[in-house]
Structure 1
Amino acid sequence: MTKTYFDFKTCALISLVTLFTISALAQTNLSRKKADQIAAAELKTQMELQKPKAEAEWAAHQIQYKNFAMKFTTQIFGDKPAGGRSLYISLHGGGGTAPRVNDQQWENQKKLYKLKEGVYFVPRSPVDAWNMWHDYPMDELLTEVIKSEIVMDDVNPDKVYVMGYSAGGDGVFQLAPRLPDYWAAASMMAGHPGDAQILNLKNLPFMAFVGGKDAAYHRNELVAQWGKRLDSLQTVYPGSFIHETHVYPDMPHWMNRKDTIAVPWLASYTRNALPKDVIWIQDDILRDQFYWLGMPIESAKKGLKARVTITGNNINILENEHEVLYIYLNDNLVNLDKKVTVTINGKQVFNKKVPRNAAVIKQSVAARMDKSLIFTGKLVVKNGEVTAI
């Protein structure tokens, strides 16, 4: 008879390995119910962590990011809806001029629009430059505003809008397509588009206003051209590129408040946080996530493009110029209790279940604190192969 002996240390090691394996499986093979519980708990934790910082900022009426300080004012209109308040971020004009001029433009912006319901948030640009609303670190500042408004004024992240006049309109032209997954809709007044990535607006309603006599920087011509481009894209992609363009023939740069019709138009839209057809082109301010797509920031480059669609449990990668592409999933995008298929250029490369993963949940909550963009699973696309995390 052969006898096998296990000493105490060996048994202890085996037990630890077993426990670790069970624990790992428990965190990466979650039921939908358990994933939802983890998400709710993590969201509560992150909101509690955000609150002291937000309270200090609101007391000072100023947000600090590295060496940049952005002053702001808020006004609250109407009763709070059951789902939380709307948020309108309104960007003033001015630009590369004396600080006192931008201060006066900030004062004007505070009184420019009235809401039926919501928080009217008017920041003062931390810099006095022509690109004051779309250069670094404006993305970081405004996304931090949204996180803090969620805890300070119970803002609904599906009802956040961006609008701006003149230099503020320049900012909207850039920030709307750069951060479309943050906005429910956007409205640009009397700005110019520059090199903004229009294709990124596929799932974001966009409104534009300009005076027909506003010829400085060719605003009148460029805004009209932008509108025609959106008309064409709406034809190519039915149901997408929702927009309105208003060119007032006899109006100069100041449109005498004709643009105030933007407020009810914006309010009529709720964010589509999880569109099933996404076009993503990297801008000069790089991002590591765009709706449910992502990538390692260290490999991001301006102009890189991806287009991915989801139909049922089928993911179709139509274009991808990224060396590594992440696809974040949850049960509102696909049914994670069933196999998920991934096709690249017509070839099926993946057909497996994607596990719900506690680490992915916690990462997505910490990044955005956004109830509609909590992901539970993740795919990594590299060298034509797909791996589930």
Structure 2
Amino acid sequence: MVPTLQPWLSVLALALAPQAPVDEGLAQALQRAGDNAPEIRRAIAEAPDEQRAAMRFLIRHMPEHDLKALQADFLLENLALAAEARAATPWAQAVPVEIWRNDVLPYAQVNEEREAWRADFRQRFAPLVADAASTTEATMRLNAHIFGELGVKYSTRRNRPDQAPSESIELGLASCTGLSILLADACRAVGVPARLAGTANWFDSRGNHTWVEIWDQDGWHFVGAAEPDPQGLDRGWFAGDAARATPGSREFGIWAASWQPTGHSLPMVWARSIDWVHAVDVTARYLPSTAAAVDGEGNPVDAEPRVDLLFAVRNPAGERVIATVTLRDPVTREIVFTGATRDESQDANDFLVASVAPMSAWMLEVARAGKRWSYQLEAGNEARQTLSLQLEDSANFQLTGQVRTQAMQWFNASPEERAAIDFSELDTQLRRALGDPDREASIRRQVWEAYRDAAIHGETLKDVQADRVRHGGHESPYTIKTVGERPASGWPLVIAMHGGGGTTQEFNDSQWRHMQIYYKDQLDLGGGYKYIALRAPNNTWNGFYDNYVYPLIEKLIHQHLLYSDIDPDKVYAIGYSHGGYGAFAIGPKIPDRFAAVHSSAAAPTDGETSVVGLHTLRFTYMIGSRDTAYGRAERCQKFAEQYRAAQDAHPGSYPVEMFWIEGNGHGGLPDRDFIRQLYPYTRRTTPAALHWQLTDPVVRHHYWLQVEEPGKGQRLDARLAGNRLQVSSTERDQFAVLLQPAQVDISQPLQLDWNGETSEHTLQPSVRTLCETLLERGDPRLMAPLRLSFER
């Protein structure tokens, strides 16, 4: 046989042939899928040849929790329906493949629950847009039609901001984000590229907003969900605000969601810890092309100084209603502005906006349901002034926005500037309002809204976005999750503290992770709550019960009053072991911050825990009879003797209770469902009798009592009955009272009996005092219009 080189040449050719590139992104996705990888592989294998590249793109960029949970059938149906929509119309076919894959194919917009909406929406809405000439026309038809068909409207009473379509449809209510998810999904179902866009905070710090962007042949355009405008896209009430956004800023910029990674994550105020929703900074497209100023509707105006008046009209129940607002020249009576206010079906940040000269005077007219009201109005110097017009049953209305505007000016001012602001006119309004609970509540609401929206919370917002709380060099990270549905009054807040203490960082971190799941979700309470698992700021034994802890906890509550829609009267603290020691200190020291507090597997700390201040707070603790280390069980028994003595001395007070678990040691206490025991309790802020044993140099408030330079060994006991205040004190020569009008008769003087010495004091409620006490306490229920200070 003659030797041949053919086999060797074949081997050499094979070795030199180009190899198919390895799809590293897909390989990593399959690895992250874990036990669900077979489903992901099947989705790729069973995708039609012409669509397999699209399936690979989708899977390559799926979030990890989707990779571990979604089934092949779900992904294959989503792919087939998206391809079907692409083939159905000329404008869908004209969408570039890279945009189709990123902004039509994905089955979700942001972090909403995953569900198969595409088939239903395609069946419902494809006929509506079948003869549309473009994606723009299709979007306009959808926006004008789908919300009526689905029966969904805007409301702040929705369950959560990021509702999936089925939840919004079932409830009939959605936030701007929920409405945007519905519209963007409907667009994708018929082949229109659509994505969510928005800002975490408007330029004036009044809050976030979400809308929809859709793609047409000339690029991306924006549209407000459920806000159809027959004049086209790139219009809306928020255009002027968007024109003042800050490029590159996660807080004040405008960002649009993306399926594929971009190097940035979408700033989502409802889920700040999530970093797997990708985003692009689109702020530049919203900025004016020239330096010309724009008004509240995004229209150019003269370069001369202007201020925006933002109008809302409310009925006697406080609900926004549609009314005609007119501004007339006070001399000539000529109409210079007219428009209609928004009702509760529109976004809460959607105001009727009039742009006028600073300090200009106007005749303001409001017309509704055949009635007309008038008012002399003077615009201030603030760039944006929110005026809430409260209609009354009589022939008048209350311009409550004046309170908000002046309070906002005060909060944004320096301490020196604050002293010069004159509240005398508003104080007259306040005194007149105190006989009318609705009007008083309206003034308090204006002050709270001014404080909440003031430009003084920048560092607080950064902390919330980073899921951390800081005070005096100490920092505690936390996780936060939502359980159940939002109650009408806002979200209750549960603060859970972990075990561990004086040990390693790794062990305390593991205990913190365990606390994130330790207390079981309670879904049958008649309402939901927010659950925070708080990490101790260090790895010491007293990590949760040292002097830095109490301001830290107050700051944590304050954060979420500002940014998480928390009900201030439904805040709870609960902890186990190390965290239980924290509860045993936090509850007695700052009881006016909580509705209820519970401690498990811990004990009171000498010199830090006093039963005296628990006269009103529901405080419980659970201990095993065999939990004898560090004298825990014995200390708990002694504390029981103390609270029972207090209950005997003050019948009806001291709602404290011990749960003694016979035979139980330190671990395994039956408390994992204890949130359901706390949930029914609501905070009381104005008990008639206060007993305060001071145990540290940092806590300055106890319900309606306030002191300067607190210290151990000091004590105050106070009882308010009508306008008679009896106070006994030990080692205190100064205190103040912060009173609500419902506690006293402001037309009569206050009679003080302090350690047997009597005096008489005039009661003068003040909006300035409301602002000052709110700045000090950061809690809308603890601010007070009356402050009297006493000193010897």
Aligned to 1:108: 514
In structure 2, what is the Cα distance between the partners aligned to 1:164 and 1:348?
44
Aligned to 1:45: 450
In structure 1, what is the Cα distance between the partners aligned to 2:534 and 2:757?
48
Which of 356, 372, 377 is the matching residue for 2:765?
356
SS at match of 2:503: coil
Aligned to 1:262: 674
Contact kept? 2:713, 2:731, Cα under 8 Å: no
Contact kept? 1:54, 1:152, Cα under 8 Å: no
Aligned to 2:261: none
1:251 partnered with 2:657: no
In structure 2, what is the Cα distance between the partners aligned to 1:233 and 1:187?
19
- Between stretches 41-50 and 212-221, larger displacement belongs to 41-50
Aligned to 2:694: 282
SS at match of 2:743: coil
In structure 2, what is the Cα distance between the partners aligned to 1:313 and 1:96?
50
Which of 217, 232, 239 is the matching residue for 2:645?
232
Contact kept? 2:544, 2:581, Cα under 8 Å: yes
Aligned to 1:80: 486
In structure 2, what is the Cα distance between the partners aligned to 1:377 and 1:325?
14
In structure 1, what is the Cα distance between the partners aligned to 2:649 and 2:578?
31
Matches for 1:149-228 after TM superposition, within 5 Å: 149-195=560-606, 196-228=609-641
Contact kept? 1:341, 1:348, Cα under 8 Å: yes
1:22-63 deviation per Cα after TM superposition (whole angstroms, max 9, x unaligned): 957546665152875553332112212466544432332222
In structure 1, what is the Cα distance between the partners aligned to 2:426 and 2:729?
32
Contact kept? 1:306, 1:321, Cα under 8 Å: no
Return the offset for 1:288. Answer: 2.0
Contact kept? 1:51, 1:152, Cα under 8 Å: no
Contact kept? 1:202, 1:240, Cα under 8 Å: yes
SS at match of 1:372: coil
Aligned to 1:10: none
In structure 2, what is the Cα distance between the partners aligned to 1:319 and 1:70?
36
Aligned to 1:368: 777
Contact kept? 1:314, 1:340, Cα under 8 Å: yes
Aligned to 1:294: 706
Aligned to 1:127: 538
Ranked by relative contact order (alpha carbons within 8 Å, sequence separation 6 or more), the top structure is 1
1:124-143 deviation per Cα after TM superposition (whole angstroms, max 9, x unaligned): 11100000001132122211
Pair 1:181–1:95, CA change in 2 (3 A):
same
1:287-343 deviation per Cα after TM superposition (whole angstroms, max 9, x unaligned): 22211111223xx22121000001122111133531111111121221223332222
Amino-acid identity (%)? 25
In structure 2, what is the Cα distance between the partners aligned to 1:329 and 1:139?
23
SS at match of 2:741: coil
Aligned to 1:311: 721
Pair 1:153–1:24, CA change in 2 (3 A):
closer
Pair 1:354–1:120, CA change in 2 (3 A):
same
1:234-270 deviation per Cα after TM superposition (whole angstroms, max 9, x unaligned): 11111111022111111110134x1235322211210
Aligned to 1:31: 431
Contact kept? 2:495, 2:572, Cα under 8 Å: yes
In structure 2, what is the Cα distance between the partners aligned to 1:147 and 1:235?
35
In structure 2, what is the Cα distance between the partners aligned to 1:198 and 1:271?
18
Contact kept? 1:185, 1:266, Cα under 8 Å: yes
Contact kept? 1:38, 1:361, Cα under 8 Å: no
Q: What is the one-letter code of the residue matched to 1:316? A: Q
- Between stretches 20-29 and 151-160, larger displacement belongs to 20-29
1:129-163 deviation per Cα after TM superposition (whole angstroms, max 9, x unaligned): 00000113212221111111113221111111111
Q: What is the one-letter code of the residue matched to 1:189? A: S
Contact kept? 1:51, 1:148, Cα under 8 Å: no
Q: What is the one-letter code of the residue matched to 1:156? A: D
In structure 1, what is the Cα distance between the partners aligned to 2:495 and 2:682?
15
Q: What is the one-letter code of the residue matched to 1:174? A: A
Alpha-carbon RMSD across the aligned residues, in angstroms, is: 2.3
In structure 2, what is the Cα distance between the partners aligned to 1:147 and 1:189?
25
- Between stretches 34-43 and 86-95, larger displacement belongs to 34-43
Contact kept? 2:493, 2:529, Cα under 8 Å: yes
In structure 1, what is the Cα distance between the partners aligned to 2:574 and 2:531?
11
Contact kept? 1:315, 1:342, Cα under 8 Å: yes
1:357-383 deviation per Cα after TM superposition (whole angstroms, max 9, x unaligned): 232111111122322212111112222
In structure 2, what is the Cα distance between the partners aligned to 1:21 and 1:131?
44
Pair 1:364–1:115, CA change in 2 (3 A):
farther
Pair 1:96–1:46, CA change in 2 (3 A):
same
In structure 1, what is the Cα distance between the partners aligned to 2:699 and 2:432?
29
Contact kept? 2:480, 2:530, Cα under 8 Å: yes
SS at match of 1:259: coil
SS at match of 1:31: helix
SS at match of 2:602: coil
SS at match of 1:273: coil
In structure 2, what is the Cα distance between the partners aligned to 1:349 and 1:54?
42
Any gaps of 5 or more consecutive residues in structure 2? 1-418, 435-439
TM-score relative to the length of structure 1? 0.86
Any gaps of 5 or more consecutive residues in structure 1? 1-19, 384-389
Whose radius of gyration is greater, 1 or 2? 2
TM-score relative to the length of structure 2? 0.44
Q: What is the one-letter code of the residue matched to 2:451? A: Q
